[in-house]
Amino acid sequence: MSKPDDTNLVQRSRTGDRQAFEALLIRYEKPVYNAAYRMLNNADDARDVTQTVFLKAYEHLDDFNPKFRFFSWVYRIALNEFVNCLNKRPRGEELARESETETGGPEDAMEQELRSRQIQSALMKIQPDYRGVIVLKHFLDFSYAEMANILDIPEKKVKSRLYTGRQLLKEALQHRRHT
């Protein structure tokens, strides 16, 4: 039997069907958690933010417009929560948190793991606006049009932010190699 689509699950959740909402949560907790982790660089914060995002989504289900993808709408809520979480942190804490994940260990021998850590570390060095578009594109695979809808900015600006973000990320990675 095929899985019910998002619109169907949202419709049922609106009438109080918690199981339907749980199905949405199961479907999207992983991408939201990953986006949160990439944006916040802290597993505890990412878990808390993911929980808050779905709680808010549940409370505001009546505001969801089925014309758009459910995940786009959820990600918009997530984006606000990322900003709130980052704003609550004392200045400079992002880098401090990031350095915690850099301590060498036997698992670092794996090249891919190391590369992944380097990228995460470089991501935390660029501004959240640029980090956000890179996460949307490369970790969540959104199109330009979907990103424009989520971020509520013109597509032209999405592209310019993404291109600049990549450039900044590349520089941050190069800077790491030289230091």
Give the residues lining the site for another protein (CB under 8 A). 13-16, 18, 21-22, 25-26, 29-31, 33-34, 37, 43, 47, 50-51, 54-55, 58-59, 61-62, 83, 112, 115-116, 119, 127, 129, 134, 137-139, 143-144, 152, 154, 157, 159, 162-163, 166, 169-170, 173
Closest to another protein by CB, 6 vs 162, is 162
- Whether 146 contacts 157, CB under 8 Å: no
The CB-based long-range contact list for 40-45 (8 Å cut-off, 24+ gap) reads: 40/82, 40/85, 40/86, 41/94, 41/97, 41/98, 41/101, 41/120, 41/123, 41/124, 42/97, 45/85
CB of 94 to another protein, least distance (A): 13
In degrees, to the nearest 5, what angle opens at C-alpha 76 toward C-alphas 75 and 80?
110
Q: How far is the CB of 173 from another protein (least distance, A)?
A: 7
CB of 22 to another protein, least distance (A): 6
Among residues 5 and 22, whose Cβ is nearest to another protein? 22
CB of 127 to another protein, least distance (A): 6
Q: Which is nearer to another protein, 6 or 21 (CB)?
A: 21
Cβ count near 24 (within 10 Å):
22
- E strand spans, the chain: none
